């Protein structure tokens, strides 16, 4: 699907194009969503350079994601969408930018793109060129990355309050199993966002180094550097959150093990308490012909009394030692 954005009397107008239509020459931005071969060819003819395929977008080498070709910057970065969708082919977005035109190629639906469209159409952001749209889009991407990391931080606070506040009941295995799964889910989101921020940080650095290609003004150059610093701080925040998640996971497993060890300790102490009466019962359970208490009238109550007394003495000893 091709969506073109043109500037008409200071207002950005959205135009849906088909593969049979020609992209308007006055368009500043063309968004390609899962394009067909015909739509890709149409966009390449409009911007004047090749656009990477979906397989090329998934490459991990920096040289394959960020390069200059025919006076255009081709920049591929992993979007915050990867927090929900771990498929790098769907979560990546390629930006092909020249001085006058911009093409975005995507196979997923990142929220940052919808935010950028809303800003340029309804929030009165002044748009004079394709570079203005590019920086509005990049700013929306950085804001979305910060939002996703903040969501992970909020989820972390909720889980940590549950673990260290109300505590976990090990008798309900589903409860602490769900808690550990929740921690793991947050950890995966943070790890993916760490990768996304690293990708975006390289993109902003590349854009700053190739500012002449797009004829960026001083304000746009400063914006590129500021966005790079913002993404770096978001990445550092994600790294710190990842360390706290590891601590929370260790603490959760440790608390569960501690409670389970306490239960095992109680059973072990009870086994020791009942060891003396078991020994007495074993002695009087022997079937020898000559046993002093065998014909004794009070032999049975005597043996029962000794067993009860041994249990009481052992129990009081463990209570005195605060083992029970």
**What's residue 169's pLDDT?**
61
Which domains, from first to last, does the chain contain? 2-260 (no CATH), 274-320 (1.20.58.340)
Number of CB atoms found within 10 A of residue 147's CB: 16
Residue 82 confidence (pLDDT) = 59
Burial 183-217 (b: 16+ CB within 10 A, else e): beebbebbbbbbbbbbbbbbbbbbbbebbeebebe
Question: Could you give phi then psi for residue 231, rounded to 5 degrees?
Answer: -65, -35
Q: Is 151 exposed, middle or buried (0-12, 13-18, 19+ CB in 10 A)?
A: middle
**3-state SS, residue 61:** coil
- List residues bridging with 27 in a β-sheet: 6
| pLDDT at res. 68 | 84
Paired sense of beta strands 102-106 and 11-17, if any: unpaired
3 state SS of 292: coil
Q: Give the ranges where 170-298 is alpha helix by DSSP (H).
A: 173-209, 218-273, 275-284
What is d(CA 157, CA 155) in angstroms, rounded to the nearest whole number? 5
Give the number of other CB atoms < 10 A from CB of residue 240: 12
Which among 251, 103, 101, 91 has a CA at the least distance from the CA of 165? 251
- Tokens standing for residue 142: 């950085």
Q: Helix crossing, 218-273 with 173-209: angle to 10°?
A: 160
Rounded CA separation 237/232 (Å):
9
Query: β-strand 27-33 against 66-69: which pairing, if any?
Result: unpaired
Cα–Cα dist 171/131, whole Å: 59
Task: Please report, in tens digits, the pLDDT of each residue of the chain (324 residues total).
Answer: 888 878 777 677 778 877 667 777 778 888 888 888 888 888 888 888 888 777 776 665 666 778 888 788 888 888 776 556 655 555 788 888 888 889 888 887 778 888 888 888 777 777 788 888 888 889 988 888 888 889 888 988 888 887 777 666 656 667 777 888 888 888 888 888 888 888 888 888 888 888 888 888 888 889 889 988 998 998 888 888 888 888 888 887 777 777 777 778 778 878 888 888 888 888 888 877 777 777 788 888 888 888 899 888 888 888 887 776
In this structure, the strands spanning 27-33 and 2-8 are antiparallel
Looking at residue 166, its pLDDT comes to 66
């Amino acid at each position: 699907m091709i969506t073109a954005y043109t500037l008409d009397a200071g207002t950005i107008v959205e135009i849906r194009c088909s593969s049979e239509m020609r992209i308007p020459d006055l368009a500043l931005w063309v968004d390609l969503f899962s394009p067909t071969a015909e739509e890709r060819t149409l966009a390449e003819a409009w911007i004047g350079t090749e656009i990477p395929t979906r397989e090329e977008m998934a490459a991990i080498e920096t040289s394959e994601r960020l390069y200059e070709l025919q006076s255009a910057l081709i920049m591929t970065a992993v979007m915050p969408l990867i927090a929900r969708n771990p498929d790098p082919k769907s979560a990546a977005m390629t930006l092909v930018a020249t001085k006058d035109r911009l093409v975005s190629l995507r196979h997923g639906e990142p929220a940052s793109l919808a935010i950028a469209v809303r800003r340029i159409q309804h929030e009165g952001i002044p748009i004079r060129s394709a570079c203005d749209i590019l920086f509005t889009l990049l700013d929306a991407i950085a804001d979305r990355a910060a939002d996703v990391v903040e969501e992970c931080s909020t989820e972390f606070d909720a889980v940590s309050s549950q673990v260290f506040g109300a505590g976990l009941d090990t008798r309900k295995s589903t409860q602490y199993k769900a808690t550990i799964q929740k921690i793991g889910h947050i950890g995966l989101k943070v790890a993916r966002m760490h990768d996304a921020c690293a990708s975006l940080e390289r993109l902003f650095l590349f854009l700053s180094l190739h500012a002449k290609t797009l004829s960026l003004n001083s304000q746009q150059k400063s914006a590129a550097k500021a966005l790079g610093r913002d993404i770096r701080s978001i990445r550092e925040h994600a790294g710190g959150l990842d360390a706290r998640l590891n601590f929370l996971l260790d603490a959760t497993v440790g608390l569960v093990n501690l409670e389970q060890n306490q239960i095992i300790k109680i059973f072990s102490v009870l086994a020791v308490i009942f060891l003396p009466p078991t020994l007495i019962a074993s002695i009087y359970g022997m079937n020898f012909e000559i046993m002093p208490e065998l014909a004794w009238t009070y032999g049975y109550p005597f043996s029962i009394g000794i067993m009860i007394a041994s249990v009481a003495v052992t129990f009081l000893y463990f209570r005195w030692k605060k083992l029970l």
